Amino acid sequence: MNILGFSYEEFVEEIVKLGLERYRADQVLDWVYQKLVFSFDQMTNLSKEHRRLLPQHFSIDLPKVVEKKVSKFDKTTKYLFELKDGNTIESVLLFHEGYATACISTQVGCPIRCSFCATGQSGFVRNLEVDEIVSQILAIEADSRQKIRNVVYMGMGEPLLNYDNVVKSVRILNHKKMKNIGIRRITISTVGIPEKIIKLGQEGLDINLAISLHASSNEKRMQIIPLASKYAIEEILDAAKQFQQNTDRRVTIEYILIKEFNDYDEDARRLAKILKEMKMKVFVNLIPVNPALPGLERPSIWKINRFKEILVESGIEAEVRREKGVDIEAACGQLRLRALQKR
């Protein structure tokens, strides 16, 4: 029973079942989540008897680092982690305005198969367990000695297809007696599953939501995101609006710019129009596509800036995302795909 998979309440219950006082749970969690001590032996405020008893019931398992790449330019660090069953996942440590941000995975591979994503190309294996999601943060902190301030669920997988485990992991990361990361510093990024977006808004978590829209017409979206044939843009944005009404959080729209595909003036104007019609607080993040996969080219800087200006002139807040880790294959899924190809 990996401690990292328990909610706070569940862990307290387990500790009490063993005949220990409730506050012992807080002590153990403080060692694990704050002091990054992963051996009961080193938990010096526990009695020798407790230090012997606890490992008979619990483990504290982190994934193994099998590959690590550090950018020379901005210290972005990409990890390839191996899970207990031998599957591998990627996580990234990056620095945003000087603060450490972890980008974590929620699935081994991804069933959505977006055409611009290396993870999508490598197929889908399984959902991650709660402890496998949470432990990515601790493994990054233990390796880098950087305290993670922000978490984005934007690595491998579609978080809302692993809904229960993702939401439980958010509660663990946010809990004051556990990882204690502010809820407004946690972002879930989804390709857009309307019923799950609405449900997320009703969880009582003021979490950030990012929608990977990547096109302003359903026809174009279907060409790059197979799931788009099931959910129309209007339905997704309507769900995002309901999320916002429940949480009062600004919604981020992610838009990957692909040369001569979705980078035309009419794409920008249509995007501005649909977002204005929704009457939501939105922010558009423009992301020049990573040309790692064959057939993908990013637009010129001039075209990227023009796209942004059209949005801004229409009253939509927009930014071009600054690239991180350009020298370390930081595009989602690249490291794992290469490792799989070598096998």
Instruction: Give the one residue of 131, 158, 254, 267 binding ligand SF4; rule: CB under 6 A.
Output: 158
Separation of alpha carbons 100 and 149, rounded Å: 6
State yes or no: is 266 an active-site residue.
Answer: no
Tokens 């026809």 found at:
219
By C-alpha distance, which of 50, 63, 112, 57 is closest to 89?
63
> Which candidate in 13, 90, 235, 260 is catalytic?
90
User: Binding site for S-adenosyl-L-methionine, residues?
Assistant: 157-158, 189, 212-214, 290
Q: Which of 129, 132, 141, 332 is catalytic?
A: 332
262 binds ligand SF4 (CB under 6 A): no
Residues 118-137 that bind ligand SF4 (CB under 6 A): 119-120
What's the rounded Cα separation, in Å, for the pair 73 and 81?
23
Asked if 140 interacts with ligand SF4 (CB under 6 A), we say no
Angle between helices 194-201 and 163-174 (to 10 degrees): 30
SS3 161: helix
Q: Are 173 and 134 in contact (CB under 8 A)?
A: yes
For residue 146, the number of C-alpha atoms closer than 13 Å in the C-beta half-sphere is: 19
Query: Which of 29/170 has CB closer to ligand SF4?
Result: 170
Q: Decide if residue 117 touches ligand SF4 (CB under 6 A).
A: yes
Q: Which residues, numbered 161-220, are part of the site for ligand SF4 (CB under 6 A)? A: 191
Q: Are 129 and 5 contacting, i.e. CB atoms less than 8 angstroms apart?
A: yes
Who contacts 322 (Cβ-Cβ below 8 Å, separation ≥6)?
Answer: none
Mark whether 332 is an active-site residue. Answer: yes
Q: Choose, by CB under 6 A, the member of 28, 114, 167, 239 that binds ligand SF4.
A: 114
In the complex with ligand SF4, which residue's Cβ is closer, 20 or 194?
194
Residues in region 313-332 near ligand SF4 by CB under 6 A:
332
The residue within the footprint of ligand SF4, chosen from 32, 102, 110, 188 (CB under 6 A), is 110
Positions that interact with ligand SF4 (CB under 6 A): 110, 112-114, 117, 119-120, 156-158, 191, 332
Active-site positions?
A: 90, 332
